[in-house]
Chains A and B, each alone.
Chain A
Amino acid sequence: MRIRYAVRGIIWIAFYLLFILAPLFALLAGTWPPARDFWTEFAVALGYSGLAMMGLQFGITARFRYVTEPWGEDVIYHFHRQISLIAVGLILTHSVILTAGRPEMLAPLNFLQTPWSARFAVLSIGALIVLVVTALWRVRLNIGYETWHLTHIVLAVVAIAAGVAHMVGLGFYLVDPWKRALWIGLTIFWIGLLLYVRIVKPLFILRRPYRVSEVRKERGDTTTLVMRPEGHPGFRFRPGQFGWLTLTGSPFKITGHPFSFSSSAEATDGRVEMSIRKLGDLTSGIDKTPVGQRVYLDGPYGAFTIGNPADMHVLIAGGVGITPMMSMIRTLADRRDKRPVILLYGSKDWESITFREELEALTARLNLTIVHVLANPPAGWTGEQGFISADVFKRHLPPPYADHEYFICGPNVMMDAIEAALGELGVPMSKYHSERYSFV
């Protein structure tokens, strides 16, 4: 599986670079416009590449399962954010180089008198700057997730469409009709990817609704929604994977949120469960979800899943990060897997440990050891307290530490600390798997 994923990953990286660079080097075929100085040509190349990178962002976030599987959706979104900064940086460098020391090139800033191609450049860069600022500081700017998401898409379309209009309008490199057609075709392809995600895919999801059959209150401000497919067989998932849940309205609305499946992957009737903690935004009213409500699920996604051969599975969960672990534990129990499993589970206090009783019951069906680590332990608590650290590992895991397979899910701060602790213990990176649930 790993080798297959690695090969697929390399193929997709090659495709990605090809889609960025081929349209640039295609400009060197056919008729050449008169050459200019090095810096002007370099700036132009940066502009074309940056625009191609921005356009491909629609592909990166299109949730193509075949593309995202080798890395996992959280990493794809991480890449999307980082590479966006690079692309915007390239486009800004393009304009800085072209205007540096050349006051006449600042004419586009006089919006009323400048040619349309230059106005489009200003519009594109303006949209990109707003796009980056609102993406980086959405919470600080107090922008709601749904409003931001819609604005994000609109700004991206405006930035890219205006960028292409700028280059076609200027026409310096696009004298040959086929080159113009190439870049306009690319733009149509990028917008097509967006339409696929926002229109075609929701149409499929609309035809495969689910119905909430049970709403179960759990410890720790968490609610489990049990959902059954309506008029279709549903899908099978691997333990640890997640789906995008649209709780209210149609799948065309930008209200889908990613949540891990918490039920066993061995269920054959299509039933899936998601256990959701109240953390604001959409989740604040999750416990008020009426039984019988129609919902939509897009999934399964994610590479955070058991299945690798290992002498021992070490599951490390913080707070609601227990949900994918719960799916793994329930699945292993249903499969009568006898390999040892250790769950290191960090919680706020004893009363807020989600699935506490069920986990205890599952120790009878599995070779499962549970280590609770409490931030605020009750009086007389003799177990672990504080946060999960390298010392906790040393006290509870049998060496050699590098032989086990580690699965980590929790808040970002905890994940960073755990990854550092595992590094201290000499666990190679290939042995630990993580899922950051706050990736959108």
Chain B
Amino acid sequence: MRRLFADRLVIATAVVVILMSILFALERVAG
């Protein structure tokens, strides 16, 4: 269970980081 949770956490972290990087880039291009 804990391993499965860790797997999901890895995917969630990757998604958050990519989304935040998109946000960063949009902010820079727009600003």
Contacts and interface: CB of A to CB of B under 8 A. Distances in A.
Interface of A: 13, 16-17, 20-21, 24-25, 27-28, 32, 35-39, 41-42, 44-46, 49, 53, 71-72, 74-76, 78-79, 82-83, 86, 90, 303, 429-430, 432-434, 436
Given A32-B31, A86-B14, A430 B1 contact: yes
B17 A37 contact: no
A35 B27 CA distance: 10
Given A72-B2, A79-B6, A35 B13 contact: no
A434 B2 CA distance: 8
B9 A49 contact: no
Contact of B13 (A17, A45, A78): A17
Nearest to A33: B28
B12 to A, nearest CB: 9
Given A53-B17, A75-B2, A434-B3, 12 more contacts: A21-B20, A28-B27, A35-B28, A35-B31, A37-B29, A39-B25, A41-B28, A42-B25, A45-B25, A78-B3, A82-B7, A83-B13
Contacts of A42: 21-22, 24-25
Of the listed residues B5, B18, B24, the one surrounded by the most CB atoms of chain A closer than 10 A to its CB is B24
Contacts of A429: 1, 4
A90 B21 CA distance: 10
Contact of A90 (B3, B6, B17, B29): B17
Interface residues of B, number: 24
Contact of B21 (A32, A49, A303, A432): A49
A3 to B, nearest CB: 16
Contacts of B13: 16-17, 20, 53, 83, 86
8 contacts: A35-B31, A42-B21, A46-B18, A53-B13, A83-B13, A90-B18, A429-B4, A434-B2
B10 A38 contact: no
Given A32-B31, A37-B29, A24 B24 contact: yes
A432 B2 CA distance: 9
Nearest to A435: B2
Contacts of B18: 46, 90
B22 to A, nearest CB: 6
Contacts of A20: 13, 17
Contacts of B9: 13, 79
Contacts of A75: 2-3, 5-6
Contacts of A433: 1-2
9 nearest A-B residue pairs (beta carbon)? A45-B21, A429-B1, A41-B25, A42-B25, A45-B24, A82-B10, A75-B2, A41-B28, A79-B6
